[in-house]
Chain A
Amino acid sequence: MTSRVDIAITVNRRLYRLSVPPNRVVADLLREDLMLTGCKIGCDQAVCGACTVLVDGLPATACTTFAFELDGTALTTIEGLSEGGALHPIQRAFLEHSGFQCGFCTPGMILSVKALLDHHRDPDEMTIRQWLGANICRCTGYQMIVEAVRAAAQAMAG
């Protein structure tokens, strides 16, 4: 494919002007062009949620989103969640409550939780379980993730 599309996207608070092939997906753009390898590809078909990133604050699957679709938007990846070297309260809660095992789903999971807590400051158990339905974790059995989300909500409220 020889044609290219010029786009301007903000990734983790930094503006990039890029020329991308029309079939370039966001996951490859992040991983191969910007070396942001925290974006993991599991199923590559928008089922597992491992590649979840935030586009203007909303979760999107990077594996099935074309780069050109994001022209003019602001992206947040796991690498952009912590500021000035300090962990985001959600990252800290996952760390302290062991909301991960192999860690492959964790970046996408944490970004989904970020979107959840931006929309519901104090979600109940059922809301958390339903929201996490967009992200598969094969290791933890989810309960410790749910506990991490509750702890993060508390930390962010306090």
Chain B
Amino acid sequence: MMDGTAGDSPFRSPVIALDGPDKVTGAARYTFDVTLPGMVHAKVLRSPHPHARIVAIDASRAEALPGVVAVVTGADAIKLPDPYYGVAIRDQPVVGIDKVRYVGDMVAAVAALDEETAYRALALIDVRYDPLLPVTTIDEALAEDAPLLFDAPVAGEPIKLGDGVTSLKEPRPNVLCEFAYTNGDADTVLARSDHLFEDRFRFSRINHFHLEPHVNVARVTGAQIELWSCNQDPFVLRGDIARIFGRPANNIRIHASYVGGGFGGKSFCKMEPLVVLLAMKAGRPVRLCLSLDESLLTLTKHAGILMLKTGVTKDGRLTARKSEIQLDGGAYSDASALTVVKTGYRITGPYRWDAVATRAYAVRTNTVPAGSFRGFGGTQAAFASESQIDMIARRLGIDPYDFRRKNLLAVGEPFQPGDSGIDSDLGSGLDEVVERLGYRQRVRGPVQGHMARGMGLSVGIKDGGGTGNHAQALVKLLPSGRAIVSAAAVEIGQGATTTLSRIAAETLQLPLDWVRYGAIDTDHTPLDNGTHASCGTVVTGIAVMRAATDARDQLLQFAAEQLGCKADELQLDNWTVRRGNFAHPLEPMIVEHFGGAGFEFIGRGMVKVPNNPKAPLSAASLFWMPCWVGAEVEVDRETGKMRVVHLVVGADSGRSVNAVACRGQVEGAALQALGQSLFEELRYEGGEPANATPLKYRVPLAGDLPDCYESFILEHGGPGPFGAKGIGEAGMLGVASAIANAIHDAVGARLAEIPFTPERVLAAIEAM
């Protein structure tokens, strides 16, 4: 571990984001802004039924409408080599084939000369449905004789995992996948524990609400398929398109631009193959830009029910935890298989256990598919776990701070046997929160009239950087010393452009504004596993640093040959090489030797996090992402209305390569979590989404900020370049539980279901 307070970091000086000038002047180009000559516009017909068989589709009137170029239905999809997609388990059709499984499911699509004509054509498509009974909640889906979403097993495999883990695909009716992890004999340990606590929590469904809707432009030319996509994972998408259309992946070319927000909503394959299919049929480029209403019906975060059974000794030591976690996966697989694994694995929180037994599964329901959302199950797990830890402390009459302090994992202790050690001083972050919040001097309970105040703490944690992840990168050095960093971590607002460029600039001793982050194009950009799991700074970052180091080594070798000395006698500094007291400018040396257009030194770098079957997730976690939260709330006991007065959120960046971006990530994530805690939710009434429109779907506004909103970043070292680690998802983890714990502190009532609406708060107070 490094001491982050030492003033030796090369990254102390504030940095102006390299993508900033484009973004504040309107010059930034997003996929939203892509137009191609001859491009036509697509719109999608969506199911009005939560569950129905498609009996017949008559698109002839739509096809006959002047201006319509192509209509695509399941009849076209079924002819594809493999018309299904999904992560590990592939059950989602490119467009509805035999059934529709949620309100909003894609049934047909039209490409026309303009969007207006495409909309008119949708109204002319005649679909005959045979409505089926829907299952819209986890309980309905698991009931005996529940209607089945799928009549037969679907394609794919369960996620492969390591020691102590069972991973199953479609183990029971309406269950997509299951993850089970055991360490020791939890039943025996629980039976011997002095106290045993069983609690149940409900987590809500929210949407990503990225402001740039899902947008793709496809062009098919002969054997080549080209896609300009807002997707976070260009190389994953390339693989899916190749498989679905049965073409070699080197004929698929994906272009990525700036992405207007994602948070997981633009990860993995979704409507992209439908756009390609339309472009094939239309014989010209097709753009499909969803409306935000449609994005609300494309993907959500997993709602869920989390049941925890936790044992404690009489002196307040945690012994064992048994959990059963049901996640609502919605109608299709998407990334549920991964989310189930991560929720189940993270449910034990940042604590020491004698034994653990976890079972987590995704349930199929006739609702919007659920998938990646900033933290991948980490927020669900942290809400339940950190709520229960607090409840147990209060039941035992122990201060929740002391209870956490006693049981937190120490630096170096493995999260679970076979996994990596905790790389952050968890107690110090909690102390920082306590200090900033004024927790020790807090006013508890009634303050004036029917108002009450209280404070709550939370320590969320997740593994970071993906599992056994890898990335590749190139750094090109032009004769002038200007550099291009080429990697496929997509700039989604997290600051990848600046952070990765800064890593290269520091390695090459160049000014930051001499480095440009290159355009992403799968034909030319080195492979990346996707913009996920807070992996950009560490995984892609290591690949970039190695590429920069490789370029530097080549350059110094060249200079040594020109100067007739050894490379290790030379030092690089602002595009000169220094040898003793002499400085030799590099540009004239390169131009003179190569002539012509000059020369580019091209450095290559890669990283693969080692696989390890002894680790529960099949690779030791690369780093750990703690989230320390403290909240002070004011609750009106008459109305149930609650206000977060003070919110403190902290995370560990290892060492900040781009401090301002780290702060932005933590504060942005925490406000998303605050919205979900207080009011934000995609609600259903039966099989119908009740508020799936921007007007009714409420996200946090500036006016929702707590009176006092503080963030802090600790730097405890990490495995990335210069000691960095990822931070993007951390700020979301502990917020909901800290607020629930603060409400409990204020009024003695427990909110076990988010969001904490006035109705729920009042009901909890009245139930006391």
Contacts and interface: CB of A to CB of B under 8 A. Distances in A.
Interface of A: 36-45, 47-48, 50, 77-79, 81-82, 87, 91-92, 94-96, 98, 100-107, 110, 128-130, 132-133, 136-146
A27 to B, nearest CB: 12
B211 A101 contact: no
Nearest to A47: B694
A19 B21 CA distance: 34
A139 B668 contact: yes
Contacts of A139: 261, 493, 664, 668
Contact of A103 (B28, B670, B695, B702): B28
A37 B29 CA distance: 8
B363 to A, nearest CB: 28
Contacts of B27: 38
Contacts of A133: 701-703
Interface in B680-711: 693-695, 699-703, 705, 709, 711
B23 A87 contact: no
B703 A129 contact: yes
B24 A110 contact: yes
B23 A138 contact: no
B26 A78 contact: yes
B30 A128 contact: no
A141 B260 contact: no
Nearest to A129: B702
A39 B654 CA distance: 38
Nearest to A126: B703
Contact of B212 (A42, A128, A143): A42
B85 interface: no
B548 to A, nearest CB: 24
A45 B694 contact: yes
Contact of A78 (B25, B258, B663): B25
A43 B48 CA distance: 21
Contacts of B700: 142
A95 B28 contact: no
A132 B701 contact: yes
14 contacts: A36-B26, A41-B32, A44-B291, A45-B292, A87-B21, A95-B21, A101-B493, A102-B493, A103-B28, A104-B212, A130-B703, A133-B702, A142-B671, A143-B711
Interface in B407-450: none
B431 to A, nearest CB: 23
Given A95-B24, A102-B212, A129-B702, 20 more contacts: A40-B30, A43-B292, A43-B694, A50-B211, A78-B24, A87-B24, A91-B24, A94-B24, A95-B16, A98-B660, A98-B661, A98-B664, A102-B259, A103-B22, A103-B493, A104-B210, A137-B211, A137-B702, A138-B208, A141-B669
B383 interface: no
B24 A129 contact: no
B25 A144 contact: no
B263 interface: yes
What is the predominant secondary structure among interface residues of chain B facing chain A? loop
Given A40-B260, A102-B212, A103-B23, A48 B664 contact: no
B190 to A, nearest CB: 40
Contact of A40 (B211, B701, B711): B211
Most-contacted residue by chain B among A43, A130, A140 (CB, 10 A): A43
Contacts of B98: none
Interface in B202-243: 208-213
A78 B24 CA distance: 8
B653 interface: no
B104 to A, nearest CB: 17
Nearest to A145: B702
Contacts of B29: 37
Contacts of A95: 16-17, 20-21, 24
B67 to A, nearest CB: 13
Contacts of A44: 291-292
A50 to B, nearest CB: 5
A39 B680 CA distance: 27
Contacts of B20: 94-95, 98, 100
B667 interface: yes
Contact of A105 (B211, B672, B695): B211
